[in-house]
Amino acid sequence: MHKKLFIPGPVEVRKEVLEKMATSMIGHRSKEASELQKSISNNMKKIFYTESEILLSTTSGSGLMEGAIRSCTAKRAAVFSVGAFGKRWHEMAVSNNVPADIYEVDKGKAVNVQEIDKVLATGNYDFLAVTHNETSTGIMNPIEEIGEVVKKYPEVIFAVDTVSSAAGSKVEVDKCGIDICITSTQKAIGLPPGMSICTFSDKAIKNAEKVKFRGTYLDLLALYKYIKKKDYQYPSTPSISHMYALDYQLDYILNTEGLENRFARHIEMANIVREWGKTYFELFPDERYISNTLTTIKNTKNISVSDLNKKLGLRGFQISNGYGDLKEKTFRIAHMADCTVAEVEELLSNINDILQLK
Amino acid sequence: MHKKLFIPGPVEVRKEVLEKMATSMIGHRSKEASELQKSISNNMKKIFYTESEILLSTTSGSGLMEGAIRSCTAKRAAVFSVGAFGKRWHEMAVSNNVPADIYEVDKGKAVNVQEIDKVLATGNYDFLAVTHNETSTGIMNPIEEIGEVVKKYPEVIFAVDTVSSAAGSKVEVDKCGIDICITSTQKAIGLPPGMSICTFSDKAIKNAEKVKFRGTYLDLLALYKYIKKKDYQYPSTPSISHMYALDYQLDYILNTEGLENRFARHIEMANIVREWGKTYFELFPDERYISNTLTTIKNTKNISVSDLNKKLGLRGFQISNGYGDLKEKTFRIAHMADCTVAEVEELLSNINDILQLK
């Protein structure tokens, strides 16, 4: 039996989007391929509220995160981490011999904006990496506030991982001064995994030009130069299936549902899960910075999360256990992409039934 | 109108395989995801005649090529190139600050096996990169002969790009002593682009352990360690759609068509195109090393290839112009994946009709 996914990616994908994954192939050096990528780029600019160029990568979001920190750190990177996916930025820098420091907070807390200011004021850094929405803890960092601080340091490239938030929660790239805003297909956009997308500012381009060894496949500057040289084509062969599905879904998001409606629906779903979580358990993250796309709940009743998930599985649902050492201590319910309010309510009512919560 | 693709990737994909791309999502940390990757690995071992481990990467073939030369060159890489895709190996090494030398031949020639012997005998190298099937010229290098030479140098990692040959032409990885054999989905395997696959020998693992900065996403050792640690799962989120389609297609290749039948069909198609090419034009590559999956034809009649392709397009077919500076001087007809003898004959008869060849 298929399980409806309430996990932080892959998400449940609409039937119409899945069908687009089955589109027949075209040559990747054809005019049609250029038109397809141009259409995606134009629509992604709207999703991100940006005038920056859009890059596509046939990788998961991790591919573009690594590409960003390696391609665009000419001096030293400061990684502000609030969980597992924040740490990943730093691990990627280290594995590429990119000088980097990591600044961490306790799990469930957001980044400390004053600390970012203090750290950037040292003048040691030309790259700042932040996770917008951290799915290991359920925190959504205050990206606009951070952006205000970063604007004081024009030499710093501001890179944000919006993998699990973009298209589900408003991210205004240009307003926040984000140079590289990264997302991927399998979260709030509502596609299968397999492609990632980022914005790439003129400032980021200039910094990349200072970096000598950027590699090839994940080199953001190479991706940028290729779309300019070859009219929005990809240096190797991209996942054309994902491009067809993405193009279709972005049109749906912008012109059928509407971006503001989509964001409002995400907040509505989040509110329902938060209320439920507070009624029967406790919320894990700092409520001032709680995620709009995923709720992490503290397992105050000491239930067996793994057992709950097995029982939910028999009813056709799947949620997520806590991440890493938060396993069994927390559990996570994602409410993103094309999931409806009714589906969220159906899930919670099944959990109530299994746990006999009243 | 859909154009039937006779280009060296993406290829025409069977309807049943396209439909598998539309499979509903599962969690990538589920038992089902492990089982799916295990099934693919077991079948890829048969395609490659190997006992080595199989790695999957959500990238084009270029991703794993870069990963291989960067992760597994501890000393210096020797790249033997017979065209554009051979050169790409070298460019990838350079962009990663991996010491490397390139040895080239005239276009249309195969590698010189004696030269490989001489170069490896210097003792300067611990990594050898060769393209099996070079689609820019239509050459298929004598991989078994090369393998015999490489066996004399046990410190050398033998890496082969079989992107456009694997599953269409026999590549016996263990017999040839290949340590890293790379392919991707969109060529003779017959899937859409978006995923690449390689073998990874114990010797390659040991060399990777000597390399300090291997990056993260394209680090072959990281992919290997993760499948061992997490029971055949992927470090980030893989393209589950491709995995479903690949699993389905490998079963078809091995158990419905049969590998030997598949190779024989590729040779039969190649023979038909070669005969046609010799009748009306000339063959471009050295016939002793001519490719089984793609035929490059010298444009001795000085036709407009671009015009021919436009006219073919109106009839629902697409071939390839020559690559790079061979454009208009040659043209290329790919005959790989699930393309049939009848379809090849239909294409040639349409070309005959357009060019009024008798």
Query: What pLDDT digit, counting tens, does each position of A8-57 carry?
Result: 999 999 999 999 999 999 999 999 999 999 999 999 999 999 999 999 99
pLDDT of residue A358: 84
DSSP A111: P
Which residues on chain B are in Cβ contact (under 8 Å) with A195? Answer: 194
Identify the CA nearest to A179 among candidates A275, A69, A257: A69
Q: Least CB-CB distance to B240: which of A10, A70, A213?
A: A10
Which residues on chain A are in Cβ contact (under 8 Å) with B193? Answer: 28, 58, 237-240
Task: Tell me which CATH homologous superfamily contains domain B4-9+258-355.
Answer: Aspartate Aminotransferase, domain 1 (3.90.1150.10)
Which residues on chain B are in Cβ contact (under 8 Å) with A59? Answer: 58-59, 63, 217
* CB–CB contact A60 B238 (8 Å): yes
pLDDT band at A163 (very low <50, low <70, confident <90, very high): very high
* CB–CB contact A192 B239 (8 Å): yes
* CB–CB contact B217 A212 (8 Å): no
Per the listing, tokens 């400061």 go with A78
* CB–CB contact A11 B5 (8 Å): no
Which residues on chain B are in Cβ contact (under 8 Å) with A97? Answer: 212-213
pLDDT of residue A1: 87
Over residues A272-278, mean pLDDT: 98
Q: What is the largest CA-CA distance in chain B?
A: 62
Q: Least CB-CB distance to A96: which of B13, B25, B213?
A: B213
The residue of chain A nearest to residue B9, with distances taken between CA atoms, is A27
pLDDT of residue A342: 98
Per the listing, tokens 């956009």 go with A189
* CB–CB contact A216 B96 (8 Å): yes
pLDDT of B182 above 90: yes
pLDDT digits (tens, 9 = 90+) for B14-25: 999 999 999 999
pLDDT digits (tens, 9 = 90+) for A206-232: 999 999 999 999 999 999 999 999 999
pLDDT of A323 above 90: yes
Tell me which architecture the domain covering A25-255 has in CATH: 3-Layer(aba) Sandwich (3.40)
Question: Cα(B48)–Cα(B176) distance, rounded to whole angstroms?
Answer: 11
pLDDT band at B315 (very low <50, low <70, confident <90, very high): very high
**How far B197 CA lies from chain A's nearest CA (Å)?**
14
For CA atoms A314, A317, A320, A321, the dihedral sign is negative
As annotated, the residues of chain A forming the CATH 3.90.1150.10 domain(s) are 4-9+258-355
Angle (nearest 5°) at CA A241 between A132 and B32: 70
3-state SS class at A83: coil
CATH number among 2.60.40.10, 3.40.640.10, 3.90.1150.10, 3.40.50.10490, domain B16-255:
3.40.640.10
Q: Least CB-CB distance to A27: which of B92, B194, B318?
A: B318
Per the listing, tokens 């990349």 go with A208
**How far A296 CA lies from chain B's nearest CA (Å)?**
18
In this structure, what token pair is assigned to residue B328?
A: 């208009």
Which residues on chain B are in Cβ contact (under 8 Å) with A235? Answer: 62
3-state SS class at A331: strand
**How far B192 CA lies from chain A's nearest CA (Å)?**
7
As annotated, the residues of chain A forming the CATH 3.40.640.10 domain(s) are 25-255
pLDDT of B270 above 90: yes
pLDDT band at A162 (very low <50, low <70, confident <90, very high): very high
% of chain B at pLDDT higher than 90: 99
Number of other CB atoms surrounding residue B118 within 10 Å: 12
* A-to-B residue pairs, Cβ atoms closer than 8 angstroms: 177
DSSP A10: S
pLDDT band at A189 (very low <50, low <70, confident <90, very high): very high
* CB–CB contact B28 A18 (8 Å): no
Query: CA dihedral defined by B36, B38, B43, B46, rounded to 10 degrees?
Result: 170
pLDDT band at A303 (very low <50, low <70, confident <90, very high): very high
In this structure, what token pair is assigned to residue A63?
A: 């591919």
pLDDT band at B116 (very low <50, low <70, confident <90, very high): very high
Q: Which are the contacts of A96, defined by CB distance < 8 A and separation ≥ 6? A: A66, A69, A70, A215, B213, B215, B216
Residue B58 contacts residue B194 (beta carbons within 8 Å): yes
pLDDT of A269 above 90: yes
Which residues on chain B are in Cβ contact (under 8 Å) with A9? Answer: 237
Question: Cα(A167)–Cα(A334) distance, rounded to whole angstroms?
Answer: 14
Question: Cα(A255)–Cα(A243) distance, rounded to whole angstroms?
Answer: 18
pLDDT digits (tens, 9 = 90+) for B45-104: 999 999 999 999 999 999 999 999 999 999 999 999 999 999 999 999 999 999 999 999
Over residues B215-219, mean pLDDT: 98
pLDDT band at B174 (very low <50, low <70, confident <90, very high): very high
**How far B173 CA lies from chain A's nearest CA (Å)?**
25
* CB–CB contact A194 B26 (8 Å): no
pLDDT of residue B1: 87
% of chain A at pLDDT higher than 90: 99
**Burial of residue B215, with CB atoms counted within 10 A of its CB: 0-12 exposed, 13-18 middle, 19 or more buried:** buried
pLDDT of B106 above 90: yes
With residue A100 as reference, give the H or E element that holds it. strand A100-104
As annotated, the residues of chain B forming the CATH 3.40.640.10 domain(s) are 16-255
**How far A114 CA lies from chain B's nearest CA (Å)?**
31
User: Model ipTM?
Assistant: 0.98
Q: Which residues pair with A80 in a beta bridge?
A: A103, A130
Which stretches does DSSP call E strand in A124-195? 127-131, 133-134, 139-140, 157-161, 180-184
Question: Cα(B216)–Cα(A40) distance, rounded to whole angstroms?
Answer: 27
* CB–CB contact A9 B215 (8 Å): no
**How would you write chain B as a 3-class SS string?**
CCCEECCCCCCCCCHHHHHHCCCCCCCCCCHHHHHHHHHHHHHHHHHHCCCCEEEEECCCHHHHHHHHHHHHCCCCEEEEECCHHHHHHHHHHHHCCCCEEEEECCCCCCCCHHHHHHHHHCCCCCEEEEECEECCCCEECCHHHHHHHHCCCCCCEEEEECCCCECCECCCHHHHCCCEEEEECCCCCCCCCCCEEEEECHHHHHHHHHCCCCCCCCCHHHHHHHHHHCCCCCCCCCCHHHHHHHHHHHHHHHHHHCHHHHHHHHHHHHHHHHHHHHHHCEECCCHHHECCCEEEEECCCCCCHHHHHHHHHHCCEECEECCHHHECCEEEEECCCCCCHHHHHHHHHHHHHHHCCC
Could you give phi then psi for residue B338, rounded to 5 degrees? Answer: -105, 15
